[in-house]
Amino acid sequence: MAVRKKVKEKINSITLLDKYILKQVVEVFIMGVCVFTSIIFASDTFITLIKQISLFGIPFKVALMMIILNLPQVIVMTIPMGVLLATVMTLNGLSLKSEITVMRACGIGLNRIAKPIFVFAILMSIFSFFINESVVPVMTKQSKDLALWALGQKNIPDGKQNFVFKELNSDGILKRLFYVGYCEDKTLHNITVLDTSKDGTIQVLQAEEGKTSPSGWDFQKGAVYTVGQEGKILNTTLFEDSNVKFGLDMSKELNKNMAKEMNFTQLMKFIAKNLNTLEEHQKNVVVIELYDKLALPLTTIALVLIGVPLAITPPRVRYNRGFLFSILIIFAYYLIRALSISFGETGALAPFLAAWMPNIVLTLAGVVLYYKKVYTIE
């Protein structure tokens, strides 16, 4: 009963002012997240996936599913943008209509005006952290598994006999010729590969069977013959298992997001167990990702802290500068973020600072501007 009473008191404490401000904030927030998500998809995610389709031959339906699976990762990035846009547009609009001045005249200070916005920002930070912890790792892993499955299935015409694959180099000249006797249950049989990529010699690979993989074709039980220009066999190598890279190796590309496939606890355990076995660059990447899993959701609060004082303008200003302010702040934040992470990955900046530097800069600037604005609202 006591808990229910406290909850009821909290709900009743939400005033008409809070509802009035929150209504505008939520409306602009939803619009902002949709717009920014669309922009990032169009300019980055979608283009990257289209590139993967063209380079690696992933079917369109699979690529479309990968786009959907990448959506939560993009939303985590756009939630802070949406909250900032909502904050600045709402408060700037209230300033233009002199409503901030009226509130001040009634004894309502900036802290009270901004209270519902900060509460909303905290809730969105928690929501963003939840998505980043529980949804993004699962979706990223599924997207990778889907791509690997598609790559393993491509170019495998089940039931077909006596067919050929060609691999050309960047100049359009034949690099390798793959001959397959027949295919059954996605397994290739009676394979011959003619490799002309090395000057002066030709390599001929013969194998009993093989399968495709993201990095190429895996062959079993065969031999590789090196043939000279005069047609004489210079060398013969027998093998039980052999891999021939066919085109570009997408497995390495997909493994770049390995850290995003784990939540904070999983990544912390992975680092504790494998840190000493990783290369220096990869070590920096995974540690930065660990810190970033905490820093990114809190970006929402840091952006609001700097957005509130910048949004409140004198009544004599007769145009809404909210959208322009939002874009400039977002640009500054992601520029600092890109630079700090880049320096962190190369080892020029400590991983902790690489992940937290944008929030530190925004918070310090926000505290100074907010403090000044509390006592200097015109």
Phi first, then psi: what are they for 146, rounded to 5°? -65, -45
Total domain count for the chain? 2
pTM for this one? 0.71
Query: Within this chain, do residues 148 and 267 fall inside the same structural domain, yes or no?
Result: yes
Query: Among residues 361, 362, 317, 302, which one has the least CA distance to residue 91?
Result: 317
234 plus 260 within the same structural domain: no
Instruction: Give 6-49 as a DSSP string.
Output: HHHHHHHT--HHHHHHHHHHHHHHHHHHHHHHHHHIIIIIHHHH
Please compute the mean of the pLDDT values over residues 44-71 and round it to a whole number: 71
Q: Residue 4 falls within a domain, yes or no? A: no
Q: What angle do CA 68, 70, 73 make, to 5 degrees?
A: 135
Mean pLDDT of 25-47: 86
Domain presence at residue 3: no
So what's the pLDDT on residue 239? 83
Same domain assignment for residues 98 and 168: no
In angstroms, the CA 24 to CA 91 distance is 9
* Residue (of 173, 24, 176) closest to 87 by Cα position: 24
pLDDT in tens, 231-263: 788 788 888 887 766 554 444 555 556 788 888
Confidence band for 145, pLDDT divided at 50, 70 and 90: confident
pLDDT digits (tens, 9 = 90+) for 280-327: 888 888 999 999 999 999 999 999 999 898 887 766 655 656 678 788
Say yes or no: 89 and 70 in one domain.
yes
Residue predicted with more confidence, 35 or 183: 35
Is residue 16 domain-shared with residue 75, that is, in the same domain? Answer: yes
Q: Which domain holds residue 357?
A: 12-152+255-376
**Domain identity same for 128 and 196:** no
Residue 8, pLDDT > 60, answer no
251, 272, 306 — which closes off a domain?
Answer: 251
Q: Which of 251, 272, 299 is the last residue of a domain?
A: 251
**Are both 52 and 191 inside the same structural domain?**
no
pLDDT of residue 78: 93
- Residues 358, 313 share a domain: yes
Give the pLDDT of residue 248.
45
In a domain, 314, yes or no: yes
Residue 2 located in a structural domain: no
Does any domain span residue 6?
Answer: no
In a domain, residue 1? The reply is: no
Q: Look at 51-55, 137-141, 331-335 and tell me which has the smallest mean pLDDT.
A: 51-55
The rounded distance, in Å, linking the Cα atoms of 333 and 366 is 12
Region 181-209: mean pLDDT is 81
- Same domain as 247, residue 294: no
3-class SS letters over 272-336: HHHHHHCCHHHHHHHHHHHHHHHHHHHHHHHHHHHHHHHHCCCCCCCCCCHHHHHHHHHHHHHHH
What's the confidence (pLDDT) of residue 10?
47
With residue 184 as reference, give the H or E element that holds it: strand 174-184
End-to-end CA distance of the chain: 46
Position 369 pLDDT exceeds 70: yes
* Same domain assignment for residues 275 and 334: yes
Residue 4 has pLDDT above 60, yes or no: no
143 and 272 within one domain: yes
Q: Look at 288 and 10; give whichever has higher pLDDT.
A: 288
Give me the chain's average pLDDT, please.
80
Asked if residue 51 belongs to a domain, the reply is yes
110: confidence class by pLDDT, cuts 50, 70, 90: confident
Amino acid at 376: T
Q: Last residue of some domain: 251, 282, 313?
A: 251
Tell me, yes or no, whether 63 and 77 share the same domain.
yes
Domain assignment present for 198: yes
Integer Cα distance of 165 and 59 in angstroms: 18
Phi, psi for 253 (deg, rounded to 5): -60, -45
- Residue pointed to by tokens 């599924």: 142
Beta bridge partners, 155, equal none
Beta bridge partners of 223: 206, 238
